[in-house]
Amino acid sequence: MEKFKVSLVSLGCAKNLVDAEVMLGHLPLDRYEIVLDDSQADIIIVNTCSFINDAKEESVDTILEVADFKQEGHCKLLVVTGCLPQRYKEDLAKQLPEVDLFIGIGEVPRLVELIERQLQQGKPSVEVGEPDFLYDHQTPRVNSSPFYSSYIKIAEGCSNYCSYCIIPQLRGGLRSRAIDSVVKEARNLAAQGVKEINLIAQDITAYGMDRADGATIETLLKELVKVEEIDWIRLLYAYPEGVSDELIDLIATEDKICNYLDIPLQHIDDQVLAAMNRRLGEEGIRALLKKLRERIPDLTLRTSFIVGFPGETREQYDKLLEFVKEGHFERVGVFRYSREEGTGAAELPDQVPGQTKRGRLNRLMKAQARVSFNKNRALIGRTETVLVEGYSDETDLLLKGRSARQAPDVDGQFLITSGQADVGELVQLKITDSSEYDLIGEIIEE
């Protein structure tokens, strides 16, 4: 039987990465070989994102780029999966004739069946149904992250229905996994050498609300901390209204739960937040931030904001800018509002011009850069536990790593100027210098 080489390009967020890893896990090794070089692949899979316009453009550009390998490389089959086909279905087949097979989010378990059928029939096809797939601990998965770190998706879909967001239409309502399934996956990963677990969902604080078995993010964490080989458990994408006193206490008291929280706030002005269909206003946000800082020692906070939401006035933007300058956050991501068809906000009047949005984003990022720089400078002289990740991308003379205050891929890193350690090892590092986003330190020999 002929064996095919398969490469996979995954775009978008860590949730999409998990989907891609599950796709790779479904490929039987006696029939498919996973390769990293697209030019050597017989089958190229592009797992797309279409959350905002920039993501859609990146997805289409990537598809067209790898389509060249049908002429220049070995590619016999170009497969596009994920959010883009889920959202646009038949339209894509007309616009991208280079693609042989479009597969929706719910068809992941049928990946091999659909590829095999496509190899036989040859005619381009679209397979997009309901986005109802939810993987569990028994689902095959290839961990493409470094061996010491992994993401676990604890829920799929979302039922918050923020007015700017297309996710509920793309991925359906909230569907949470069983606690037992998540814990078993964590144990499986730990047995493979994983030390850091990053819990992800569109909203991890909503975890379990759709279930009748009492599952909550708090009851899940109480079980996960019992997995002995796991050193760090990180919480990503916690909506502010769902951050309970019990969750705060767990982060503060459980050593394995990183003193790190990613809370997407999106804005601080009450009118803008109401138009976004966000349930917590300025007073509630400020009270939550105060509580978090008081009860969790040495907390690192990440958030995201949207600038240029329809109707956002200069005064409302300036309020957000001043809020950022107050220095509440170690990390901030800023997005220009993207007008997405099918969302409530797309129909709102007073859409903000693109140039205005770009200017507002740049000013907000500059303000946060000063905050981040000052917060990093304040850490000089301290000792941190750092997970060693290998040699620096800039020079092979320096090791790099991350502390519990730095999430993979989105935050800065540690540059290690003195001492030796193995990849995946946890070491003690004294911080000697810093920049806006990175920290510099020396390994303390025990």
What's the mean per-residue pLDDT of the chain? 93
> In DSSP terms, which residues pair with 434 in a beta bridge?
439
Read off the pLDDT of each residue in 327-355 and give the average, rounded to a whole number: 94
Number of H-type helices and E-type strands within the chain? 14, 19
Query: Which residues, 6+ apart, have CB-to-CB distance to 339 below 8 Å?
Result: 53, 310, 345, 346, 351
Read off the pLDDT of each residue in 417-437 and give the average, rounded to a whole number: 92
Q: Is 258 annotated as a binding residue?
A: no
Q: Is 75 annotated as a binding residue?
A: no
CA torsion angle for 119, 121, 125, 131 (degrees, to 10)?
A: -60
C-alpha dist (Å) from residue 440 to 45, 357, 397: 38, 34, 14
At 434, give phi and psi (nearest 5°). Answer: -160, 165
State the pLDDT at residue 441: 94
Amino acid letter for position 144: S
Structural contact between residues 217 and 170, judged by C-beta atoms closer than 8 angstroms: no
Determine the distance from the C-alpha atom of residue 3 to the mean position of all C-alpha atoms in its chain, rounded to a whole number: 33
State the pLDDT at residue 395: 73
Read off the pLDDT of each residue in 34-45 and give the average, rounded to a whole number: 91
State the pLDDT at residue 392: 85
CA 307 – CA 262 distance, rounded (Å)? 18
CA 433 – CA 81 distance, rounded (Å)? 44
pLDDT at 1 over 70: no
| Cα–Cα nearest to 282, from 350, 328, 251 | 328
DSSP 285-304: HHHHHHHHHHHSTT-EEEEE
Question: What percent of the chain has pLDDT above 90?
Answer: 74
User: 177-186, 367-376, 436-445: lowest mean pLDDT where?
Assistant: 436-445
Cα three-residue angle 81-85-89, rounded to 5 degrees: 145
Give me 220's structure tokens: 């899940």
CA 218 – CA 221 distance, rounded (Å)? 5
Query: Which residues, 6+ apart, have CB-to-CB distance to 276 below 8 Å?
Result: 162, 163, 164, 266, 267, 306, 309, 345
Structural contact between residues 200 and 150, judged by C-beta atoms closer than 8 angstroms: no
CA 233 – CA 307 distance, rounded (Å)? 31
pLDDT at 135 over 80: yes
Q: Given the DSSP bridges, would you call strands 77-82 and 149-153 parallel, antiparallel or unpaired?
A: unpaired
State the pLDDT at residue 368: 97
Q: What domains can be seen in the chain, in order of their start residue?
A: 4-127 (3.40.50.12160), 149-377 (3.80.30.20), 383-443 (2.40.50.140)
State the pLDDT at residue 446: 65
Which of residues 16 and 246 earns the better pLDDT score? Answer: 246
pLDDT tens sequence across 204-237: 999 999 999 999 999 999 999 999 999 999 999 9
pLDDT tens sequence across 40-99: 899 999 998 877 778 888 888 888 888 888 888 788 999 999 888 998 887 888 888 889
Q: How many CB atoms lie within 10 A of CB 444?
A: 12
